[in-house]
Structure 1
Amino acid sequence: MSHVMLESEALKSHGLAQRKYICNEGRRGLSAASLLNNDSLQVACWGRPPRLRQKDSDVRPPTIEDFEVPNTQSLVFIETTKLCTILARIAELYMERQHIQKAELSSIDAALCEWVNNLPENVELYNAAGQRKSYYRPASEMFIQYFVAIVMSQMLTYKERDRPWRVSVPSRVAASCAAFLYDEILCREETVFLLSNHGFFCLAIFLPLICHHPQSEAERAVRERDIATIYSILNRMRDRYGDAGMVLEKMTNLRDAVEKGSRQNGGGPDFILQESDVQAKDLFPFPLDMCSEINLLSVTAPDQQLPRNDVSQPLSEYNDDGLLGFSFMDFFELDLNLFDFMVDNEPNAFSAHDDF
């Protein structure tokens, strides 16, 4: 495919095909940023080797001056580009055949917090009074990608663990927030505008949902509603993207395995969330009524102590390269024996008890 065709496709994918929105001086930079964004998403979502590496690129971040007629969509593109840079780093850390230092994990958390707390007012979901702004799908898609980034960043913590992978409270909250935004898109019948990367986004947020089993009937109903929303999104996408059908099959198989494991295991170790250099609440500067699971953040204060029998061991103590080099898609192929499932009998307890 020629450079001109690649440029055109990249711009179309971000809704920037109309020349009147792009000044001549900024067009090439916007095109390069679009290509880099698309490449970063393909690497992060599907594990494809990068065609363009961030560290080898001299593409400058897009600015509002690159647009001839700046508008809200211009701001969404600029902020999405920043988010893609963070996602690319998360994917790079996950796929590198070396251990992840705690400082790297903290830097990802800090980057996500900085991104969400410094957005232009025009692209935020809520105003200063905590009221929902008018629905704008590009902004909703951007925030869905942000919530997926939270889930993926939490997966990094368990890349090298020899103990079961457990869903963190930030992952669980992010999954429900993303499902809320997907439901808005679904209600307006705008799934036709979603690109193929949403197949992976749905898979990523599905994992925390199925691994959490609330004890209250009301919370179970909310969880089932969120899961149903994800299935509905993918069912509407499958006629356009074959990947959506593949993701649906993975989700069904994963849920069957979780249900089977839940019946067989009959329980698991209690788990208190690991301490964090960044308060979990900083990742979610949203009103409590965005989704009920935001209340879970009240039990993730960083001054909580880990129980003696569940203290995290330093990453440097792990030297088995057999656990390294996975892509995020490989993560969903792992043996379900590596998973524990979250129940609400204790604020941060993770185990498998009841059937779904």
Structure 2
Amino acid sequence: MVWRPSSFIDQDSIMYDPAKTPPTFVQDNLASGNINTKEAILRVTGANVLPQPILLQALKDSFFEHVHPLYYSVIDREDVSGPNASILVQQAVSLAGSLMRHGQDNMSLAEMQYEKVKTLVHVGFEPDQLTVLKALCLLSCWSPSSPYLVTLDGPWHWTGVASRMALQLGLQKQSTPEDTDVEPLTEEDFEVQDFGAIASTYMTKLIRIIGKITQLKTKKSGPTDEDVEAAVTSLRDWVTDLPDGLRLFSSEGVKKPFNQHRAEALIFYLVSIILVQTISRNTYSHWRTSAASFLAASCAARLYDEIRCRERAVHLIHFHAFLVLVVGVVLVSHQPQSQEKERIRDRDMEIVRSVLEGMSAKYGGARAILKKFQEIHREAVGGRVDEPSITRNETTSSQASSTAKIVQDHIGDLFPFPVDFCENMDILAHENNSTEEGILQDDALTDFGRWENFDDISSFMDVLGMDFTSIDGISG
């Protein structure tokens, strides 16, 4: 008999058992299913059959090189090494590793690995529930379907399953970060305190900041200026405290050799500068057109271009589609003030399109976003006018976003980069001495009435199947 970990029961409950003895009245076959059925399913599907050894090792290496440091540090090399390594986790790691490979043929391999992992989860193949939880986390990397399709085969479903299993295991008291018992990752939690450990730690810190931004966005009473100030300060502190290994430039301002994990971490940070401006509840949101948003989008496009030119966009996981979308909407909303700036803007928009196109073969969200972005770009270039354009003079005095102003006050600290980082870094020289008139620019999208819902960043969340607009009214 295999005794599985008991579910978490609070000590205030009448069901609480400090000894955590197994309930003897529950029969094994009710808890684990019919053994003959399991064996038949495994025999037909081959779900417990690993890839041949050379391919298996290549997939593991691909996972640890491209995916592990920033996104899935719940897995250690020891989890997939040795004769007793979990078959379920090895299959899940192979799934994530296969998504990092070049060529359309590898999608067939990835799909086969996904079906194997899903089958092993559903038949209860793995007795160790913490190991199952690790595999569930990895399943969230599978996102081939369009966000317009109703499906359980996507990251939103598997992230939810993993979260509920974590609650059953008692890994935290509540489902909110404020009440959790689990401390955030630190470098000391890793057996080897290398670049990967540092990258994982700082990505965790950044994701927690983004989580707080999301909570402010869905706060029923709306965020206060103090809330916004705290969120912006958190971002400033994050980039200020970056260790040398994660910095793009040396202390002398010299660009360091390309490192994709470093570039991706900074892309997340730059998009966070845009996202923090979306929490304003003003009637007309200026997150698309503020100087900080445009500079963040320009810098992010520069980093995506470095990834693209090295043909490494294939190593971007699915939620980069959302990041690219945010960058793209800011770029297409911008109205350049000179032909040279227009050329730079158009080049950056081509980078956005190219990255989305490269991701489209594997991720349905990227395909949907690419189509939507192309529609917006066509209409912006075509100059179709459905309603009067909102100009800076009409909006600045009456609807200027206090959030944009707070970000404006910190713009120099939020972009501690040399002037040659991207062609639009000269924005800092203008904005440091600007008044309210300089914070906002005309919005190229205001001519297009049916894109007005882009003022609400929540409308983008369907990339991962997450519609935050449905919880606006119930979040406190």
Shorter-chain TM-score tier: 0.7 to 0.9
* Cα deviation, residue 192, structure 1: 1.4
The match for 1:173 is 295
Scaled by the length of structure 1, the TM-score of the pair is 0.72
| Higher alpha-carbon Rg | 2
Partner-residue secondary structure (3-state), 2:341: helix
Whole-Å Cα distance in 2 between the matches of residues 205 and 66 of structure 1?
34
Shift of 1:35: 5.6
Is residue 177–residue 290 contact of structure 1 (8 Å, CA) maintained in 2? yes
Q: Which amino acid aligns with 1:135?
A: F
Q: How do residues 1-356 of structure 1 correspond to structure 2 at under 5 angstroms?
A: 12=68, 14=71, 16=73, 17-19=75-77, 51=163, 52-157=175-280, 160-163=281-284, 165=286, 166-259=288-381, 263=385, 265=388, 268-270=391-393, 271=396, 275-276=405-406, 278-301=409-432, 304-305=435-436, 327-329=458-460
- Measure, in 1, the Cα distance between the counterparts of 2:382 and 2:462: 19
TM-score (norm 2): 0.55
Change (3 A) 1:91 1:267: closer
Once the two structures are superposed, residues 42-89 of structure 1 have per-residue CA deviations (whole angstroms, 9 ceiling, x without a partner) of xxxx99997453224222111111111211121111000000001111
Distance 2:392 2:382 in 1: 18
Deviation per residue, 1:324-352 (Å, 9 max, x gap): 997252699xxxxxxxxxxxxxxxxxxxx
For the aligned residue pairs, the C-alpha RMSD in angstroms reads 3.8
Give 3-state SS (helix, strand or coil) of 2:405's partner.
Answer: coil
Pair 35,304 (structure 1): closer, same or farther in 2 beyond 3 Å: farther
User: Which deviates more from structure 2 when the two are superposed, residues 199-208 or residues 92-101?
Assistant: 92-101
Query: Is this contact kept in 2: 1:210–1:255, CA < 8 A?
Result: yes
Conserved in 1, the CA contact under 8 Å of 2:278 and 2:456? no
SS of aligned partner of 1:275: helix
The separation in 2 between residues aligned to 1:325 and 1:220, in whole angstroms, is 26
Distance 2:71 2:351 in 1: 24
Q: Matched residues in 2 for 1:66 and 1:216: separation?
A: 51
SS in 2 for 1:227: helix
5+ long unaligned stretches in structure 2: 6-59, 81-129, 142-154, 164-174, 439-454, 464-476
The structure-2 alpha-carbon separation of the partners of 1:14 and 1:161, relative to structure 1 and needing over 3 Å to count, comes to closer
Contact 2:231-2:276 within 8 A present in 1 as well: yes
Q: Give distance in 2, aligned partners of 1:275 and 1:235.
A: 35
Q: Which moved more, 1:298-307 or 1:282-291?
A: 298-307
Aligned letter for 2:71?
H
CA gap of 1:331–1:93, structure 2 versus 1, over 3 A, is farther
Tell me whether 253-262 or 126-135 shows the greater mean CA deviation: 253-262
2:348 counterpart SS class: helix
- Contact kept, 8 Å, 2:292 with 2:411, in 1: the verdict is yes
Report if the CA contact (8 A) 1:108-1:153 is conserved. yes
- How far apart are the structure 2 equivalents of 1:102 and 1:183? 35
Structure 1's 118 and 328: CA in aligned 2 closer, same or farther, altered over 3 A? Answer: farther
CA distance 1:233–1:303, change in 2 (3 Å) = closer
CA distance in 2, matches of 1:144, 1:326: 17
Instruction: Point out 4+ residue stretches in structure 1 off by more than 4 angstroms.
Output: 8-13, 46-52, 259-264
2:97: which partner in 1? none
